[in-house]
């Protein structure tokens, strides 16, 4: 049995020493902290916010979600969704905050009471959100801004996939699991993770859709089952988990994620799997730890008091006929599943986002979970936003399970230690989810002229590969021209014995980090353009509205599109990144006073921009 672990990165599960009084029930921990103020009995809303932030977050709070409610009167009962948190001992303000908002549950949430009439702050932990959450106001933070823009994002279907003849003799099956717990904590990103892996399996790896079994929250129930994003008015925005994961008008989610349904799925699999088949299991969800006879890691299920433990999950696997089994776990404490899943009975490979005692984490944009995003990108050949990736470390045209882990582990930037186990040793280097030759997609590279073999133009990709196109447009045959391209491998070697032979399907010249100035032209109905510092005119099709300001100085990157301008002015471009340091009128109210020096907008998919407010 082979086990690989990354150096442990501890993130919040450290032991806490409480020196002062512990009160309330065993469910909660509470501590009273004395705070000196010079404005006793006259604390305004802003004073309270400053007091709380200064004493609770001396090292900064930009990565925290923070909300406050008040003023409230003495005796007000503070409730979360499970019961009473505490009763206010005096008049004051209540703060609710998550100091690990990117971590999946279960992790502690925090409440603090700030008194108007004394110098106290009372802190207390809980596991749930306030019952009257709509009464709380948000404190402007970087992560709070990101949380307000989170939504369901259906993964892009790769445009170019070279399918080879699949040499696998059996049938490939997949089970995708996302419990979500309940609507209040069923994050949008879990559905996004499912959509991303479903597209990879069905549209890239060649899994038949009827063989991909999806159990997600409340299943096909049309009722809302997601709630994580807030409107500007602090009202929760609810959503239903769309059963169609890939946009083909076919319902892909089949069952609600309950223990009974999981048991039923495994019973059905036990009747169809053979020794020649392959079973892939993917879990994105909350996870917890249960201390019974021994500590168990669990998968949290939908609205159920009972979780799926690692021991019982292994029993379900062991009840199946012997076959290839691959498991990828994203949930908190998921490393606890690996030792139970991988055993010396049959070929198995398993990897997890984290260890058995650490949380797993979302990406900074909160749209996907970090490890699942990169692992899926590895087997798909591009990430969920269409950016090409190359996890084929030995250049054999397929992504094996050890390569998928290496890629995800090396690109995982969150505070989690990915884990990997396999049996027998090196089996992960022999197992893949399909014999698929991943084509180059959205590769950025440089046109070069080679003066051998009669002379020809090729492309040196920023990914380190050389590409020999059989159909490079003549107007792009320019030495050192920077381009973005996609293509399909021709299936035969390069005629010039240089790089990989490709048939280009999309290509354009690109601009990188060009300076310029926004101008407004009052003809053709009026439109905004960019005059580059190089003297060229650019007509953008997707200039974000916050940059549509006359004379605004910007730095931008873009694709030069091979089409005529409807305004008959300059070159048509599609902006991929743009930023400015002239931002006085562009800072949201919640971020004012936070020393913002520039705003950067980056395209993450199609024309969906993510705004980054950069502090000085």
Domains of the chain and any CATH numbers = 9-147 (no CATH), 162-437 (3.40.50.1460), 443-505 (2.40.50), 508-615 (2.40.50.500)
| DSSP 8-state code for residue 257 | -
Strand-pair category, 253-255 with 212-216: parallel
φ/ψ of 268, rounded to 5, equals -65, -40
φ/ψ of 408, rounded to 5, equals -65, -45
pLDDT for the residue 3: 54
- Asked if 265 contacts 320 with a C-beta cutoff of 8 angstroms, the reply is no
Q: What is the mean pLDDT of residues 382-398?
A: 83
Which one, of 404, 386, 399, 296, lies nearest residue 350 by Cα? 404
For residue 191, pLDDT over 90 is answered with yes
- Based on its alpha-carbon atoms, the radius of gyration of the chain, rounded to whole angstroms, reads 27
Q: What is the mean pLDDT of residues 125-141?
A: 82
Q: How far apart are CA 167 and CA 409, in angstroms?
A: 28
For residue 297, pLDDT over 60 is answered with yes
Of 165-174, 270-279, 402-411, 507-516, the one with minimum mean pLDDT is: 165-174
Residue pLDDT, tens place only, 351-378: 999 999 999 999 988 899 999 999 999 9
- Angle of helix 370-380 relative to helix 188-199, nearest 10 degrees, comes to 10
- Asked if 258 contacts 301 with a C-beta cutoff of 8 angstroms, the reply is yes
First CA to last CA distance, the chain: 50
State how far the alpha carbon of 251 is from the alpha carbons of 1, 193, 219, 255, in Å.
39, 16, 10, 11
For residue 218, pLDDT over 80 is answered with yes
Which neighbouring-strand residues pair with 468?
A: 501
Is 0.85 topped by the overall pTM? Answer: no
pLDDT for the residue 31: 42
Q: What is the mean pLDDT of residues 335-341?
A: 94
- Asked if 417 contacts 405 with a C-beta cutoff of 8 angstroms, the reply is no
Q: Classify residue 453 as left (phi > 0), alpha (psi -120 to 50) or beta.
A: left
Q: How far apart are CA 423 and CA 344, in angstroms?
A: 6
53 sits in which H/E element: helix 45-56
- Asked if 189 contacts 295 with a C-beta cutoff of 8 angstroms, the reply is no
- Asked if 576 contacts 511 with a C-beta cutoff of 8 angstroms, the reply is no
Residue pLDDT, tens place only, 15-40: 332 222 222 222 333 444 444 444 44
351 sits in which H/E element: strand 348-352
Q: How many helices (H) and strands (E) does the chain have?
A: 8, 34
Length of the chain: 616
Helix (H, G, I), strand (E, B) or coil at 129: coil
Residue pLDDT, tens place only, 258-280: 999 999 999 999 999 998 899 99
State how far the alpha carbon of 339 is from the alpha carbons of 8, 105, 512, 556, in Å.
17, 22, 47, 49
Of 167-176, 379-388, 603-612, the one with minimum mean pLDDT is: 603-612
Instruction: Identify the band that residue 51 occupies on the pLDDT scale cut at 50, 70 and 90.
Output: low
């Amino acid at each position: 049995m082979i086990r690989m672990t990354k150096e442990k990165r501890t993130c919040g599960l450290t032991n806490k020493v409480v020196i002062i009084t512990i009160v309330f029930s065993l469910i909660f921990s509470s501590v009273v902290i004395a705070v000196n103020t010079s404005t006793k009995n006259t604390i305004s809303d802003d004073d309270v916010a400053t007091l709380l932030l200064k004493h609770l977050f001396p090292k900064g709070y930009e990565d925290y979600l923070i909300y406050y409610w008040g003023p409230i009167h003495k005796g007000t009962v503070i409730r979360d969704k499970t019961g009473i948190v505490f009763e206010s001992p005096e008049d004051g303000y209540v703060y609710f905050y998550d100091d690990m908002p990117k971590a999946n549950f279960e992790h502690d949430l925090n409440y603090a009471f700030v008194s108007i009439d004394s110098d106290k702050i009372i802190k207390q932990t809980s596991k749930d959100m306030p019952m009257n959450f709509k009464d709380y106001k948000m404190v402007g933070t970087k992560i709070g801004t990101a949380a307000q823009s989170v939504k369901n994002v259906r993964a892009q279907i790769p445009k170019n996939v070279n399918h080879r003849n699949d040499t696998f003799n059996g049938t490939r099956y997949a089970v995708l699991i996302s419990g979500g717990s309940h609507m209040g904590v069923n994050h949008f990103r879990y559905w996004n993770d499912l959509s991303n892996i479903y597209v990879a399996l069905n549209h890239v790896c060649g899994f038949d859709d009827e063989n991909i079994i999806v159990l997600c929250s409340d299943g096909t129930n049309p009722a809302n089952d997601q709630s994580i994003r807030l409107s500007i008015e602090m009202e929760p925005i609810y959503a239903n988990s769309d059963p169609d994961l890939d946009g083909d008008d076919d319902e892909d989610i089949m069952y609600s994620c309950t223990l009974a349904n999981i048991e039923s799925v495994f019973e059905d699999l036990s009747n169809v799997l053979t020794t020649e088949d392959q079973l892939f299991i993917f879990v994105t969800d909350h996870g917890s730890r249960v201390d019974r006879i021994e500590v168990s890691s669990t998968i949290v299920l939908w609205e159920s008091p009972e979780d799926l433990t690692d021991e019982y999950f292994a029993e379900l696997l062991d009840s199946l006929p012997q076959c290839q089994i691959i498991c990828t776990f994203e949930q908190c404490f998921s490393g606890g599943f690996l030792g139970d899943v991988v055993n010396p009975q049959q070929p198995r490979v398993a990897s997890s986002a984290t260890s058995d005692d650490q949380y797993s984490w979302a990406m900074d944009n909160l749209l996907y979970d970090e490890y699942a995003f990169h692992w899926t990108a590895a087997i798909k050949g591009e990430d969920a936003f269409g950016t090409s990736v190359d996890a084929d470390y030995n250049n054999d045209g397929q992504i094996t399970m050890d390569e998928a882990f290496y890629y995800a582990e090396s690109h995982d930037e969150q505070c989690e230690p990915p884990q990997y186990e396999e049996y027998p040793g090196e089996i992960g280097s022999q197992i893949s989810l399909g014999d698929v030759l991943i084509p180059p997609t959205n590769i950025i590279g440089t046109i070069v002229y080679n003066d051998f073999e009669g002379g020809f133009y090729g492309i040196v990709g920023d990914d380190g590969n050389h590409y020999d196109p059989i159909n490079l447009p003549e107007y792009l045959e320019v030495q050192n021209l920077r381009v973005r391209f996609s293509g399909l491998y021709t299936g035969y070697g390069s005629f010039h014995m240089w790089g990989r032979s490709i048939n280009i399907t999309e290509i354009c010249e690109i601009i990188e980090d060009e300076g310029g100035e926004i101008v407004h032209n009052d003809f053709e109905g009026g439109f905004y353009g960019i005059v580059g510092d190089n003297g060229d005119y650019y007509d953008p099709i997707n200039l974000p509205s916050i940059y549509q300001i006359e004379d605004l100085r910007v730095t931008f990157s873009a694709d030069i599109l091979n089409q005529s301008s409807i305004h008959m002015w300059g070159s048509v471009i599609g902006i991929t990144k743009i930023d400015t340091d002239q931002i006085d009128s562009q800072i949201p109210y919640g971020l004012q006073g936070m020393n913002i020096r520039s705003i950067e907008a980056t395209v993450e998919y199609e024309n969906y921009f993510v705004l980054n407010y950069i502090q000085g």
